[in-house]
Structure 1
């Protein structure tokens, strides 16, 4: 890398790390925020869900806007919104303004993440340099998500939950000042128009879908508050597909989604994010409700996962060279992540299990980031620069939706198992529910790995003779 490329990489990775921290930094502080600002118990989930809904619902839209007006403009605008929203969130004194700040932070994430990834992929030529940059980006995403939980606990206990917001303000100002010096102006697409009906349909559909899944974690999958938004979301996404078939300038050209590298790459990416976020949630329950560790101790143990994530990002590009392709790395990462997570099924209720559990979690975290790099390279390779914003918008959408739905899905499995064990003690029932959910998590990852390996390899095999 040139000196300029290294500086650009540091800038973009810093932005992505900050956004990943924002996703989880408030989770540890939720009970304290609820008490101070008067949240009802049933509304506490909205501190996290408000962020996730806006981040997931608008990622594809802003990825396309980045193509149309220039990724650099959207990146800077998103940083400005993130800084302002974080300042507001630290100053609020009631529930409504806090949720508004979280929505704004989610919108900023939907702007900065795809625009930043588009700047990253266009700053480095396709090949080893881009693989290395995407590897470090994957490490920052997962390490940021993990560090957010640790940092949130430290700030809440030592200072105040408000510093979970305030910490973004100086970082955001620094990035806004430095970014124009390092990032080249990106050329917008001339004469192109935004597909407004498609944008409305996909954003509303994704918001309804994510809302329904978030309700499932609280009310169950058979409740009307879950089924109605899920049905509305599904109908809107079907409408989006029909709109795209007829639109002169579609928001998401279906020929891009028809590429197996894009479609199956994103399916593999969805699986690895679902698996990792669900594992963190289940391990949190295991460490606190089964082994009896405090929230602070639990947060600090996740430093092991952060270390695994960092090492995975650093070494993943080398695995692409060893295995010969990014999709092979994606499959290997998913398999390793799934096996390591699935073996956690055998964890018992004694504290002697802490060492083996953390070792398996470390391996799963390492493999998760290796899979992320395989996913990012697979899903963005072979596309021209003017479609990188769309491609990275799709990968961002995959990431945000998967992070949001992983916990409710595995939580529902755990709760169903716990409720079925009516005669067992609370600790034994909880352990059994966690074990069953973690096994389902591992089986999901292994199954998706097999499908990705089969379909992407089949596509490459069929394409070779004609090439």
Structure 2
């Protein structure tokens, strides 16, 4: 568990450190201002596009094997980025880091879910994972600037290498291989159409390119047709139709997209309206972000007591309601009296939502589909992180006054979140007499408590 959590921390911290260091990294390799977004996009595109494919490959060919391969690739990509002397080397390194993320993250998450029986233990393990992710993002945001200032932007890449080396040494000793027995066939047509479709859709959102969006949707339709007719599908259609998979991942999309959009809008508000410096803005988010670290372990216990459907629905509703007062902030710096407490409580609730949707999206499934499930939840996160800010900025841009636009976008944010709560609540309603939509395991046809009892016996 410590090894897998360390890996989660590295990937989260690496993402936020590079965001803080973007201007210095761009200047270091001669990348102009207009090229800076591609430092992020070069990472996000493969991370989102390949996540589901590698999640399924982890099931088929070995979760530990794919996890270790991802860590090796991360170390190599970090070395390439640290020694980069031109934009091409840097962007290639970022693309490889994104691919490493797509390989290692779902594999690590599925190693966690398959190591703990569904129920309280798994929920606590996923809660710790959520806390570590939040800690990594917060540490990267708070320490990234200092690391780059004291050493160099290259340190943002090199810091990954010794940690990756330690993980590579320890993992074979502590973690056993885990995969589907006697099944190594890969659905090539399904892999090509799914990956191509995801890459095209994500690229279309990033670049606001309608043509690529249409191409991506056509490829995803082709993927659905291929999977419906395949004897050994990469992603079984019945899997995608499951309420827990469908509504759990829809919840994840809303959770990340709306929160990411809010953070971006508040960044504009703090710097452009209240005229705060980037350092002060970082502190305004970083200090409340510490609450998110505490939320993970607590969320696991809350889920065990009240159920994932209840916690997910109430948590998402609170996430939306805590954004509501931000839609009324004015031009006076006294607004911090409202903003900081709202962020503090909101980040705590946000991590609770993350743990809840991960539990929902991976529950009620046999172990041989856990890599697929975690790949899908991880892909949902990456796609949502990509589309959240552009959507909110596009809404804000419809108004001529910046503050008015921010208010409008935040209002839409709240409305979408609260409507989604209703949809998720009814989408996860009990079926077949169970207490929740998440309790039925197709492999055992029994609820988690019965499965746990059987395991203990």
TM-score normalised according to structure 2 size: 0.92
Q: Deviations over 1:243-294 (max 9, x none)?
A: 1111121111111111101110110111111122212211211111111111
Distance change (3 Å), C-alpha of 1:262 and 1:371: same
* Match of residue 14 from structure 2: 22
Q: Point out the more displaced range, 293-302 or 82-91.
A: 293-302
* Match of residue 426 from structure 1: none
* Match of residue 216 from structure 2: 233
How do 1:64-103 residues align onto structure 2 when only pairs under 5 Å count? Answer: 64-103=56-95
* Match of residue 3 from structure 1: none
Q: Point out the more displaced range, 191-200 or 332-341.
A: 191-200
Aligned CA RMSD, in angstroms, stands at 1.9
How do 1:128-139 residues align onto structure 2 when only pairs under 5 Å count? Answer: 128-139=120-131
TM-score normalised according to structure 1 size: 0.90
* 3-state DSSP of counterpart to 2:20: coil
How far apart, in 1, do the equivalents of 2:432 and 2:232 lie? 29
Please tell me whether the aligned partners of residues 153 and 299 of structure 1 are also in contact (alpha carbons under 8 angstroms).
no
* Match of residue 178 from structure 1: 170
Q: Which runs of 5+ in 2 are unaligned?
A: 437-444, 447-457
Q: Of residues 398, 417, 431 in structure 2, which corresponds to 1:445?
A: 417
How far apart, in 2, do the equivalents of 1:286 and 1:182 lie? 47
Please tell me whether the aligned partners of residues 16 and 140 of structure 1 are also in contact (alpha carbons under 8 angstroms).
yes
* 3-state DSSP of counterpart to 1:32: helix
* Match of residue 317 from structure 1: 300
Q: Point out the more displaced range, 66-75 or 360-369.
A: 360-369
Residue 286 in 1 paired to residue 269 in 2? Answer: yes
Distance change (3 Å), C-alpha of 1:243 and 1:305: farther
Distance change (3 Å), C-alpha of 1:45 and 1:460: farther
* 3-state DSSP of counterpart to 1:63: helix
How far apart, in 1, do the equivalents of 2:63 and 2:183 lie? 17
Distance change (3 Å), C-alpha of 1:463 and 1:320: closer
Matched residues, number: 439
Q: Point out the more displaced range, 60-69 or 21-30.
A: 21-30
Q: Deviations over 1:288-326 (max 9, x none)?
A: 111111112211222233212112212112222342x11
Distance change (3 Å), C-alpha of 1:357 and 1:78: same
Residue 404 in 1 paired to residue 386 in 2? Answer: yes
How far apart, in 2, do the equivalents of 1:117 and 1:390 lie? 10
Q: Which runs of 5+ in 1 are unaligned?
A: 1-8, 217-225, 422-428
* 3-state DSSP of counterpart to 2:185: coil
How far does residue 151 in structure 1 lie from its aligned partner after superposition?
Answer: 2.7
How do 1:67-466 residues align onto structure 2 when only pairs under 5 Å count? Answer: 67-216=59-208, 226-323=209-306, 325-417=307-399, 421=400, 429-457=401-429, 459=431
How far apart, in 1, do the equivalents of 2:398 and 2:148 lie? 32
Residue 51 in 1 paired to residue 43 in 2? Answer: yes
Q: Of residues 33, 39, 57 in structure 2, which corresponds to 1:41?
A: 33
